[in-house]
């Protein structure tokens, strides 16, 4: 820009500074204006210099500054205001026109839809937040529970042709169906005489102490007979698996390690093949390592080793402990194999009647065997979560419906501007998809968190728990269902809006119709009904859990430390000495051992023989549970003496053995009589566990089959009568917190047994806590679902009543103008809310009675129709209904009659 004219032939330094400062003006400032400004300044500058030289120029610039700053600020403010006005105008134009210009490409218009939908949702952030939050909860909870169900119940086992792998179940008339525990000889007979399976194997599990590289460690061992890896159809990572040849007593004792065991003991050293480890004091050669993904779903398994029966032991028929597992031949069916099993069982019932009275066998798939116990609970959770999804869908439908109706006017304007009907509908669809996507994304986080919590809580009680992963199919499916619900219901008002005569709707404004109110009320009633059903389920589970915790355990659970140790091969004396060491620890009041902790299961079992009541020949005696304990076990744990006396150190094989029984056993065999002095023997003829021993005492029952099960008849054998028992749990009664003495106890036990490993160090309270973990988790999950459902339903009631109040503002205004008291108006609105809640209550109660029946198996001490539970949840629902009506009701009383009449 060359200066023209004579005023300023060349801009001075100060002029240039001024020009630079002008660049601070906003870009909207016209260039011509800036030029004029500069020109005037140049003239002023030149004049000042002419009169006063360069200080004059500086002075002129200094004088110029305040005005310039003011100008710059002013111009920026004006530019910002202008921009905002323009933006608003553009948006307004865009919202009516842009999505409907027909000359745009598919993708472009789709992007427009998405952008517009995002904007529309942002504009109504509370709607979007509620919709996304409930969707995320519904989707996340469903995905988590379905992932559990899928991983545990549905997904095939990680073996070759999983549907061909079967186990054998026992269906004795006197006992519930259970996994058949076979004797070695029965196993041999069944293997020889069945044709429907190609591989036939058996296994048992135990705790094994492994001394390999360093400290002795405890592992879950699977002892096998037959080609168990052939049955499973799995290959080793390297080395080989066990084969039937390993079963020969002459073969070198072999062991196969799981991937985790291998890593833990040897790092990732592949040269372990051929190396020797000591398992339960027996050297074994490592022959193979299994791949990392392999899980022996039937039982926890860190290592596998063959039984290697002697021919004598292979003929044994009184040791019942083998689980059979077999692979069906191609073409063979479970039914055919079952028939073959029953044929063999029939023969065994006659040929070896004394061992096999009432032997009835049938085959089931391995998967069924593993998961059948947890199925009712998982299906109940699945049902609960499905209800949650239902309520989520209804809620979304309700929200979409409300929104679509309040946008009648908008749709009509668009139609008037020439938008195709399909385009309006598509717009709504896009919004729903966007919501579902957002809900799905948040739902993934919710689901992952919930799943982590479930797995952590269920680690001990759920089979296949390490096979559970968050299921993308479940996530997608639930998101799809919620989405479809939202779309389906949102479409109705959209269609209506898009067909309505535009001007009418525009004139009508945002007031909705009566049909709208009825539809939304119906949806809310559904929400309330479903919420009540979840609530009654949660209530029943809560009551049931309360009953469970209130069960009298029959012993003192506090300040009791427990830990498990495999002492196989050590003398009874060594165990007794270790107990002496423990008692010497300060803070330890008493120490004892038991073969099985109370409340943790039946433990060992054996045939129960009463010497003066012999079992008729050709009949199998009943089987009863037994526990091997140190004499002071009862005093240590706090089990009460009912009659007779406790065991003493003098009750031993060589010095007059004695046993103690619990009340359940006394009642079963000597109802109304005194069992003291009766002689009993456990085991089979020729293989008794104990010499004939008198019952010297009767002790109180403990709920050993779990708090929700009746006590199990049990015989307590003193350790000195059963010196062969290999694994004991130490129970240590402390005077202070049990945790305080744990290090000292570990130290003393390690000093007493340098080559055995300690595991499962737990307080008795934590053992009990774990034993009710599944019930607790079920209760918490269903409870949480119920709360979400209740809140959602309350929001629904609130929404509908707010809508009703808004819609009837004029009517309410007239009523108030005619003298209705605010109390009357409030009562009217609350009564409507009460009506909704009552309708939901009635439907929900009917539904609950139908549904809670299905979970009766999961309840303990509470009937599925427990009146107290139903009364409480009904009260809660009605209360929530009235509470949710309160705010709209108050709003109704504040209606200004004049304003109401003046408004449209």
Partner 1 sequence: MSESRHPEAGVPLSAQVFQILLSLLDGDMHGYALIQDIRRRTDDEIVLTASTLYAAVKRLLGVGWIEEVEPEEPPPGHDERRRYYRMTALGRAAARAEAQRLQRLTDMARDKRLLGPLVTTPQPKGSR
Task: Rule CB under 8 A: choose which of 70, 119, 195, 518 binds partner 1.
Answer: 70
Cβ contacts of 890 within 8 Å, gap of 6 or more: 826
Stated as kind and residue range, the H or E segment containing 306 is strand 303-306
Closer residue to partner 1 in complex, CB, 40/863: 40
Cβ 748 vs Cβ 582: under 8 Å: yes
Closer residue to partner 1 in complex, CB, 30/173: 30
Contacts of partner 1 in 263-292 (CB under 8 A): none
Contacts of partner 1 in 127-186 (CB under 8 A): none
Task: Give the DSSP per-residue string, 855-897.
Answer: GGGG-SSS-TT-HHHHHHHHHHHHHHHHHHHHHHHHHHHT--H
Q: How far is the CB of 4 from partner 1 (least distance, A)?
A: 6
Rounded CA separation 111/118 (Å): 10
Cβ 667 vs Cβ 661: under 8 Å: no
Describe the crossing of helices 867-893 and 822-852 by its angle, rounded to 10 degrees. Answer: 150
Rounded CA separation 286/253 (Å): 9
CA distances from 28 to 34, 42, 80, 133, 400 (A): 11, 23, 10, 44, 43
Closer residue to partner 1 in complex, CB, 55/472: 55
- SS3 of 179, please? strand
Contact segment (CB under 8 A) with partner 1 among 5-13, 114-122, 677-685, 839-847 equals: 5-13
CA distances from 121 to 87, 118, 844 (A): 19, 5, 33
Q: How far is the CB of 65 from partner 1 (least distance, A)?
A: 8
Closer residue to partner 1 in complex, CB, 7/130: 7
Q: How far is the CB of 68 from partner 1 (least distance, A)?
A: 4
Q: How far is the CB of 60 from partner 1 (least distance, A)?
A: 8
Closer residue to partner 1 in complex, CB, 66/686: 66
Q: How far is the CB of 417 from partner 1 (least distance, A)?
A: 31
Stated as kind and residue range, the H or E segment containing 503 is helix 502-508
Contacts of partner 1 in 777-836 (CB under 8 A): none
Q: Where are the beta strands (DSSP E) in 414-554?
A: none
Stated as kind and residue range, the H or E segment containing 325 is strand 322-328
CA atoms within 13 A on the CB side of 598: 29
By CB under 8 A, the count of residues binding partner 1 is 23
Rounded CA separation 638/558 (Å): 10
Using the rule CB under 8 A, is 514 a contact of partner 1?
no
DSSP-assigned beta bridge partners for residue 32: none
Q: How far is the CB of 104 from partner 1 (least distance, A)?
A: 37
Rounded CA separation 806/370 (Å): 58
Q: How far is the CB of 144 from partner 1 (least distance, A)?
A: 59
Closer residue to partner 1 in complex, CB, 39/235: 39
Q: How far is the CB of 895 from partner 1 (least distance, A)?
A: 36
CA distances from 252 to 205, 273, 285, 835 (A): 21, 14, 7, 80
Q: How far is the CB of 66 from partner 1 (least distance, A)?
A: 8
Q: How far is the CB of 12 from partner 1 (least distance, A)?
A: 14
Q: How far is the CB of 9 from partner 1 (least distance, A)?
A: 12
Residue 396 buriedness (CB in 10 A; 0-12 / 13-18 / 19+): buried
Per-residue binding string, partner 1, 29-68, x by CB under 8 A, is ----x-xxxxxxx-xx---------------x--xx--xx
- SS3 of 610, please? strand
Closer residue to partner 1 in complex, CB, 64/247: 64
- State the first-to-last Cα distance of the chain, in angstroms, to the nearest integer: 62
Closer residue to partner 1 in complex, CB, 37/379: 37
Closer residue to partner 1 in complex, CB, 3/233: 3
DSSP category for residue 247: G
CA atoms within 13 A on the CB side of 861: 14
Using the rule CB under 8 A, is 71 a contact of partner 1?
yes
Stated as kind and residue range, the H or E segment containing 697 is strand 693-699
Query: Which structure tokens are listed for 157?
Result: 């086992």
Nearest one of 472, 474, 473, 519 to 493, comparing CA atoms: 519
Using the rule CB under 8 A, is 13 a contact of partner 1?
no
Cβ 869 vs Cβ 539: under 8 Å: yes
Closer residue to partner 1 in complex, CB, 39/547: 39
Using the rule CB under 8 A, is 11 a contact of partner 1?
no
Per-residue binding string, partner 1, 568-607, x by CB under 8 A, is ----------------------------------------
Closer residue to partner 1 in complex, CB, 81/853: 81
Nearest one of 643, 647, 652 to 633, comparing CA atoms: 647
Q: How far is the CB of 35 from partner 1 (least distance, A)?
A: 5
Closer residue to partner 1 in complex, CB, 77/445: 77
Closer residue to partner 1 in complex, CB, 38/141: 38
Q: How far is the CB of 43 from partner 1 (least distance, A)?
A: 4
Closer residue to partner 1 in complex, CB, 21/585: 21
Closer residue to partner 1 in complex, CB, 36/466: 36
Q: How far is the CB of 435 from partner 1 (least distance, A)?
A: 42
Cβ 787 vs Cβ 876: under 8 Å: no
Using the rule CB under 8 A, is 7 a contact of partner 1?
yes
Per-residue binding string, partner 1, 656-695, x by CB under 8 A, is ----------------------------------------
Contacts of partner 1 in 74-113 (CB under 8 A): 74
Cβ 169 vs Cβ 178: under 8 Å: yes
Residue 471 buriedness (CB in 10 A; 0-12 / 13-18 / 19+): buried
Residue in this structure with the two tokens 């168990």, named with its chain if needed:
228
Q: How far is the CB of 92 from partner 1 (least distance, A)?
A: 21
Q: How far is the CB of 54 from partner 1 (least distance, A)?
A: 18
Closer residue to partner 1 in complex, CB, 34/500: 34
Q: Which residues bind partner 1 (CB under 8 A)?
A: 4-7, 18, 33, 35-41, 43-44, 60, 63-64, 67-68, 70-71, 74
């Amino acid at each position: 820009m060359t200066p023209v004219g004579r005023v300023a032939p060349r801009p001075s330094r100060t002029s240039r500074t001024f020009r630079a400062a002008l660049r601070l003006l906003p870009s909207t400032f016209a260039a011509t204006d800036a030029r004029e400004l500069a020109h005037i300044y140049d003239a002023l500058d030149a004049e000042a210099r002419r009169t006063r030289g360069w200080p004059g120029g500086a002075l002129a610039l200094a004088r110029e500054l305040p005005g310039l700053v003011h100008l710059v600020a002013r111009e920026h403010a004006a530019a910002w205001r202008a921009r905002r006005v323009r933006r608003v105008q553009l948006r307004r134009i865009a919202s009516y026109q842009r999505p409907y210009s027909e000359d745009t490409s598919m993708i472009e218009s789709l992007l427009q839809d998405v952008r517009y939908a995002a904007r529309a949702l942002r504009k109504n952030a509370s709607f979007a937040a509620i919709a996304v939050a409930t969707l995320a909860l519904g989707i996340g909870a469903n995905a988590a529970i379905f992932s559990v169900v899928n991983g545990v119940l549905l997904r095939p086992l990680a073996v070759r042709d999983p549907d061909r792998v079967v186990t054998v179940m026992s269906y004795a008339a006197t006992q519930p169906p259970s996994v058949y525990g076979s004797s070695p000889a029965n196993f041999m007979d069944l293997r020889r005489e069945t044709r429907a399976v190609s591989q036939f194997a058996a296994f048992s599990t135990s705790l094994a102490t492994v001394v390999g590289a360093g400290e002795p460690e405890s592992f879950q061992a699977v002892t096998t007979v037959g080609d168990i890896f052939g049955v499973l159809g799995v290959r080793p990572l390297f080395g080989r698996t066990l084969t039937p040849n390993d079963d020969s007593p002459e073969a070198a004792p072999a062991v196969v390690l799981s991937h985790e065991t291998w890593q833990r003991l040897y790092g990732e050293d592949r040269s372990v093949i051929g190396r020797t480890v000591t398992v339960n004091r027996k050297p074994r050669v490592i022959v193979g390592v299994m791949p990392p993904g392999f899980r022996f779903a039937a039982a926890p398994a860190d290592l596998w080793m063959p039984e290697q029966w002697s021919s004598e032991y292979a003929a044994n028929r009184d040791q019942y402990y083998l689980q059979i597992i077999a692979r069906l031949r191609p073409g063979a069916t479970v039914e055919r194999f079952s028939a073959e099993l029953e044929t063999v069982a029939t023969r065994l019932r006659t040929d070896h009647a004394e061992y096999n009275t009432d032997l009835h066998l049938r085959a089931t798939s391995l998967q069924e065997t593993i998961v059948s116990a947890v199925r009712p609970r998982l299906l109940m959770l699945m049902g609960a979560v499905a209800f949650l999804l239902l309520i989520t869908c209804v809620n979304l439908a309700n929200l979409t419906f409300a929104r679509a109706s309040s946008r009648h006017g908008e749709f009509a304007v668009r139609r008037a501007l020439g938008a195709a009907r399909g385009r309006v509908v598509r717009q709504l669809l896009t919004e729903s998809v966007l919501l579902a996507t957002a809900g799905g994304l948040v739902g993934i986080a919710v689901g992952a968190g919930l799943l982590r919590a479930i797995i952590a809580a269920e680690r001990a009680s759920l089979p296949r728990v390490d096979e559970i992963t968050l299921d993308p199919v479940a996530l997608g499916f639930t998101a799809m269902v919620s989405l479809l619900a939202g779309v389906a219901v949102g479409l109705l008002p959209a269609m209506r809006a898009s067909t309505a005569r535009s001007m009418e709707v525009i004139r009508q404004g945002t007031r909705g119709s009566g049909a709208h109110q009825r539809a939304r009320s119906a949806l809310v009633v559904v929400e309330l009904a479903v919420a009540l059903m979840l609530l009654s389920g949660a209530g029943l589970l809560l009551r049931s859990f309360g009953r469970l915790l209130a069960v009298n355990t029959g012993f003192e659970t506090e300040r009791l430390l427990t830990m498990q140790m495999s002492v196989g091969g050590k003398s009874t004396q060594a165990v007794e000495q270790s107990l002496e060491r423990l008692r010497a620890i300060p803070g330890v009041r008493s120490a004892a051992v038991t073969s099985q902790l109370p409340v943790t299961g039946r433990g060992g079992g054996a045939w129960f023989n009463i010497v003066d009541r012999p079992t008729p020949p050709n009949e199998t005696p009943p089987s009863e549970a037994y526990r091997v304990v140190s004499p002071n076990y009862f005093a240590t744990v706090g089990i009460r003496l009912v009659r007779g006396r406790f065991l003493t150190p003098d009750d031993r094989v060589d010095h007059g053995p004695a046993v103690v029984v619990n009340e359940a056993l006394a009642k079963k065999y000597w109802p109304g009589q005194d069992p003291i002095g009766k002689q009993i023997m456990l085991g089979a003829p020729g293989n008794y566990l104990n010499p004939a021993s008198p019952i010297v005492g009767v002790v109180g029952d403990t709920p050993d089959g779990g708090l929700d099960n009746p006590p199990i008849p049990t015989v307590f054998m003193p350790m000195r009568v059963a010196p062969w028992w290999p694994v004991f749990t130490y129970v240590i009664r402390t005077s202070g917190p049990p945790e305080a003495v744990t290090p000292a106890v570990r130290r003393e036990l390690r000093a007493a047994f340098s080559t055995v490993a300690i595991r499962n160090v737990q307080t008795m309270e934590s053992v009990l806590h774990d034993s009710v973990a599944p019930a607790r988790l079920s209760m918490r999950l269903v409870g949480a679902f119920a709360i979400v459902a209740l809140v959602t339903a309350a929001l629904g009631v609130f929404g509908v009543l707010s809508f009703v109040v808004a819609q009837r503002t004029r009517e309410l205004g007239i009523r108030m103008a005619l003298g209705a008291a605010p109390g009357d108006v409030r009562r009217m609105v609350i009564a409507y809310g009460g009506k909704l809640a009552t309708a939901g209550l009635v439907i929900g109660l009917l539904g609950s009675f139908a549904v809670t029946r299905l979970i009766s198996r999961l309840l303990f001490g509470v009937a599925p129709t427990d009146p107290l539970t139903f009364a409480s949840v009904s009260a809660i629902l009605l209360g929530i209904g009235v509470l949710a009506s309160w705010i709209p009701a108050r709003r109704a009383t504040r209606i200004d009659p004049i304003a109401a009449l003046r408004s449209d």
